[in-house]
Amino acid sequence: MEFIKQFLNEATQLIQQLNHHQIEKAVSHLAETRANEGRLFVLGVGGSAANASHAVNDFRKIVGIEAYAPTDNVSELTARTNDDGWPTIFSKWLQVSRLKAKDLLFILSVGGGNLEKNVSPNLVEALQYAKQVGSKIIGIVGRDGGYTAQVADSCIIIPTVNPTNTTPHTEAFQAVIWHLLVSHPKLKMAETKWESVR
């Protein structure tokens, strides 16, 4: 029982420390992308890849933004990993997708990418490519935000309240934040099912 209480208390502390300004900036970038008929590319690895897939569904269905997660195509992902190496799987995918300045890159990651520590170099290369073509970047990341926090136009950092629970809190709150985003009145276009059933 003690661990349950601790974990949930950490979640409460985390919510109280979230940066509302960065969340509002992300809303603005998403609204601008939709208004300009840009596309949304959501990138993540591990648990964040699963979150990326779910987020793409919500942004397409609820917000009306053309959205994609490269990790949804496991055949291309594994072919690129096998043939070209792990670091370029996202940047080369984005090149084929003809990423443009009006598009938006959305990073979901615990660490945000770090080349020195060789953690998520694929995210770093994707971020570098997005900067090269002039795309805006938003992210939901943990720890200090890594490379994502350094280059993003809006970066929502999930605060570290207990270093031993960084990953579960970050990946859980990625879902909380993107659900906040798709529910925001500036973005939400379609009613969600259970809210529409009276």
Domain limits for position 105: 2-190
Predicted TM-score (pTM) of the model is 0.95
In a domain, 198, yes or no: no
In a domain, 197, yes or no: no
| Overall domain count for the chain | 1
In a domain, 139, yes or no: yes
In a domain, 196, yes or no: no
At 65 the pLDDT is: 98
Instruction: Concatenate the DSSP letters of all residues of the chain into one string.
Output: -HHHHHHHHHHHHHHHH--HHHHHHHHHHHHHHHHTT-EEEEE--THHHHHHHHHHHHIIIII--EEE-GGG-HHHHHHHHHHH-GGGHHHHHHHHTT--TTSEEEEEESS--BTTTTBSHHHHHHHHHHHHHT-EEEEEE-TT-HHHHHH-SEEEE---S-GGGHHHHHHHHHHHHHHHHHHSTTT--S--HHHH--
- Report pLDDT digits (tens) over 86-107: 999 999 999 999 999 999 999 9
pLDDT in tens, the chain (198 residues): 899 999 999 999 999 999 999 999 999 999 999 999 999 999 999 999 999 999 999 999 999 999 999 999 999 999 999 999 999 999 999 999 999 999 999 999 999 999 888 889 999 999 999 999 999 999 999 999 999 999 999 999 999 999 999 999 999 999 999 999 999 999 999 888 787 777
Q: What is the CATH number of the domain that holds 125?
A: 3.40.50.10490
